[in-house]
Amino acid sequence: MLPEVLSTNLTSLNEDQERIAIVADMVFQEDGSLVSSEIYRARVRNRAKLAYHSVAAWLTGSGPAPRRLAEVPGLDENLRLQDRVAQRLTGVRHRHGALSLQTLEAQADFAGDTLSTLKLAQTNRATQLIEEFMVPANAATAIYLAAKNFPSLRRVLRDPERWDRIVQLAAELGSQLPATPDAVALEGFLTRQRTAAPEKFPDLSLSVIKLIGRGEYAFDLPGGEAPGHFALAVKDYTHSTAPNRRFPDLITQRLLKAALAGAPLPYTIPELKELAQHCTEQEDAAAKVERQVNKSAAALLLSSRIGAQFDAIVTGAADKGTWVRVYQPPTEGRLTLGFKGLKVGDRVRVKLIHTDVQRGFIDFGVA
């Protein structure tokens, strides 16, 4: 998105370099609930550049402290404190209905220039720490703009239109959900299923994600009633924490700077409405490209295995087609034979029929 001088330097928190920033300063109670928040501009200095995997290993006791962690006085306790707060924030959010979803996202792994396999992306304690502070920071940003009588670009996920199928899915697993969308009830069901069948939970999560639908960007006027974010259980929410890689965040940062300075809106109302729609459309287009690349990589890996059989789960069932995800390598394909009567969440044994690497097509039939 940005020239290298920006993406790897001026907008990157390089070690021991001052950077201009917008700070979301939040105060939490002992139980993890938010007491107050303040937004202001500042110069910040990154005292240590750390890697997620090494910090996560240290936090969980499965690895040594990163070198810079030991060299910067007080940094270890600072990170421990952040981790404790993040764990409490997790508990608060899930009690309010934030959904505990665990997906299996595959990424192409190369040996030099040769595709060797697809590996599952793993979340860890350090990435969770960052995510747990991003959520309230984005909420605080939306609240600040509203308090300043500024419009905003909200990130929303509406109540699921296919809630009836989620209710049916829960019933098939012995649980009862309300007839109308209820995030707290759904989170309770997900928590029970994670405990009862952890090995099957990613499949259940994928089914729920498909049925919930995709998020979008929505223009919101002060005093308006934005739909909120169903999966995060947050009413006021925007994207603001990644202006160097996501255009909606850059728009929000410009709005924040104008609000902080008491300056006029940097956009007209019609422009903001158009940008909300444009950002949603471009995000969907980018997601399609990413899916296409992953599908082509999977098709390449499977091209020599025509006729092989796989365990799979139905991830999509509509007039335009039925889709399944196989477990190894973790990828999706279209079910072209024997799909009649199958629903999202059903388990099925499939046989590989055809692959097309250039178009990323993988076709299965019921075995």
Query: Digits of tens for pLDDT over the chain (367 positions)?
Result: 578 888 788 888 899 999 999 999 999 998 888 999 999 999 999 999 999 999 999 999 999 999 999 899 999 999 999 999 999 999 999 999 999 998 777 777 777 777 777 777 778 999 999 999 999 999 999 999 999 999 999 999 999 999 999 999 999 999 999 999 999 999 999 999 999 988 788 888 988 998 999 999 999 998 888 889 999 999 999 999 998 889 999 999 999 999 999 999 999 999 999 999 999 999 999 999 988 888 888 899 899 899 999 999 888 887 788 999 888 778 889 999 888 889 888 889 999 999 999 999 999 999 8
Q: Where are the beta strands (DSSP E) in 172-307?
A: 216-220
Distance of CA 18 to the CA centre of its chain: 29
Q: Closest by alpha carbon to 206, among 315, 294, 284?
A: 315
* Contact criterion met (CB below 8 Å) for 34 and 27: yes
pLDDT at 1: 58
φ, ψ for residue 222 (rounded to 5)?
A: -55, 135
Cα distance between residue 260 and residue 83, in whole Å: 30
Cα distance between residue 248 and residue 282, in whole Å: 11
pLDDT at 49: 92
Q: How many Cβ atoms are within 10 Å of 362's Cβ, its own excluded?
A: 25
User: What are the structure tokens assigned to 297, written together?
Assistant: 């990589």
Residue 276: Cβ-neighbour burial (10 angstroms; 0-12, 13-18, 19+): buried
Q: Closest by alpha carbon to 118, among 306, 336, 351, 360?
A: 360
Residue 355: Cβ-neighbour burial (10 angstroms; 0-12, 13-18, 19+): buried
- Please give the domain boundaries of the chain with CATH numbers for all domains: 4-90+123-157+214-267 (no CATH), 287-367 (2.40.50.140)
Angle 227-85-245 from CA coordinates, rounded to 5°: 55
Instruction: Give kind and range of the element (H or E) at residue 195.
Output: helix 183-196
Cα distance between residue 280 and residue 157, in whole Å: 12
Contacts of 117 (CB under 8 A, 6+ apart): 109, 301, 329
